[in-house]
Amino acid sequence: MTQEQTQGQVQVQQTQQMQGHRHGHALAGMLGPAFVAAVAYVDPGNVAANITSGARYGYLLVWVLVLANMMSVLIQYQSAKLGIVTGKSLPELLGERMSDAGRFMFFMQAEVIAIATDLAELIGGAIALNLLFGLPLFLGGCIIGAVSTVLLMFEGGKTHRLFEKIVIALLLVITLGFIAGLFIAPPNPADVAAGLIPRFTTTDSVLMASSMLGATVMPHAIYLHSTLVNDHYAGGEAKPTVKRLLDGSKVDVVWALLIAGTVNLSLLILAANSLYGMNGTDSIEGAQHAIVAVLGPVIGTIFSIGLLASSLSSTSVGTYAGSEIMHGLLKIKAPMWACRIVTLVPGLVVLWFAPNPTMALVIGQVILSIGIPFAIIPLMRYTHDRQLMGQWVDGPIKHVLFIAVAALIIALNVVLIVLTLIGKA
């Protein structure tokens, strides 16, 4: 081999390395939106629903979480895809295609969902502060509201990337806080695998499954993700091509929801393995006390810290989503603090009056489950609209899969409503 050939090979290798380096940085620059949306999937409502499920039914409903997480990957990617291709959020597209009365009615149901979302996050944070520092629940709720409002100051404009990094850091704290117990008391893999067989045992287990679904597939995360992919490049920053953005979004969604799904599954498995059949574990406080008794005070404290991080991050993301829903549907760009007050006050009222905040939290997750079709069905229609999506329109196979997912979720909601009406839920 001549010296010229050797030098040529070296230059080619250096060029490939530089391209790979740039490719890696380009991909890293696109990551973030899905991780912010994924915080909605690990809020305190998940803690209540998953721990209650594991403590009551053991590994029976593991399959519900796995199925819900698989559906959430598809749904969140579709939301991101809609935002990337159209440059508009799902609420904006809804606002352009609905009458004034329709936009207002749609906004009202979305606002009820936002209030239910913030209820879960506020209660969870208040319980965490009570467990860590002995603060009264109402005072803890006020603190959570104040701190989350400060976090929202970093949302938007040049500081949006900083907001994403703060939320991702909190997501890592959540992950550590909620899986730590599994390292102390590892579950039996055969028992976990048995929970992958789809089945119910009682009508109450159907209600629990619906609550888990409402805690996993989050309506406000669906609305928000289509905004996040565009806010990620706020301030006139140049965007990659649509194809590059879609490829990067796939990686973003899969990794973010893999983490969120692992956290959710860990919560259920922890409860099934360590708390099954124990009295008083239907509340977060009771579950934490049981964790301390079984796994020790260190794990109990780590759990409480994870719960606190979950509340702070998810309540900020929930308010962000509420603001974008209002802007898209009503064309009103309200100050973030005003949106925060609208969803915060009902949660504080519940903390002041409710005798069992954890039960209010689980009921809130059921309300979220009912709101899911209102977000999924328009998303399904728009991503299959060739005039809107152009060459990126969903093909027949993906569209049929999306229809199946929507039908399954709606069917669970119908069962939930029927059970409620006949008094068995």
What residues does each domain of the chain span? 32-421
- Which of 380, 417, 364, 34 minimizes the C-alpha distance to 214? 364
Percent of the chain whose predicted confidence (pLDDT) is above 70: 86
32-421: CATH topology is Amino acid/polyamine transporter I (1.20.1740)
What does the pLDDT average to over 294-322? 88
How many CA atoms lie within 13 Å of 356's alpha carbon, on the beta-carbon side?
A: 12
Rounded CA separation 118/322 (Å):
10
Backbone phi, psi, residue 260, to 5°: -60, -45
Rounded CA separation 124/3 (Å):
68
Q: pLDDT digit string (tens) for 73-85?
A: 999 999 999 999 9
Q: For residues 40 and 294, which has the higher predicted lDDT (pLDDT)?
A: 294
* Predicted pLDDT at 302: 92
Backbone phi, psi, residue 8, to 5°: -65, -40
Q: How many CB atoms lie within 10 A of CB 183?
A: 9
Query: Quick one: pLDDT band at residue 420, thresholds 50, 70, 90?
Result: low
Q: pLDDT digit string (tens) for 209-259?
A: 877 776 677 788 899 999 989 888 866 667 889 999 999 999 999 999 999
Rounded CA separation 37/48 (Å):
20
- pTM for the model stands at 0.85
Query: Quick one: pLDDT band at residue 185, thresholds 50, 70, 90?
Result: confident
* Predicted pLDDT at 318: 81
- Which amino acid, 132? L
* Predicted pLDDT at 63: 94
Query: Quick one: pLDDT band at residue 52, thresholds 50, 70, 90?
Result: confident
Does the pLDDT at position 401 exceed 50? yes
Q: pLDDT digit string (tens) for 120-148?
A: 788 888 989 999 999 999 999 999 989 98
| Beta carbons of 311 and 43 less than 8 angstroms apart | yes
Phi-psi region of 31 (alpha: psi -120 to 50; beta: other; left: phi over 0): beta
What does the pLDDT average to over 301-322? 87
Alpha helices in 42-99 (DSSP H): 44-57, 62-86, 90-97
Using the CB atoms, write b or e for 162-171: b if 16+ within 10 Å.
ebbebbbebb
**Residue 6: both structure tokens together:** 């050797």
* Predicted pLDDT at 385: 96
**Residue 309: both structure tokens together:** 């991080």
**Residue 43: both structure tokens together:** 């809020």
Largest CA distance in the chain: 86
Highest average pLDDT, of 13-22, 184-193, 225-234, 282-291, comes from 184-193
Rounded CA separation 214/204 (Å):
15
- HEC profile for 35-48? HHHHHHHHCHHHHH
| Beta carbons of 152 and 318 less than 8 angstroms apart | no
* Predicted pLDDT at 12: 38
Q: pLDDT digit string (tens) for 5-42?
A: 444 443 434 444 444 444 444 666 667 888 888 888 88
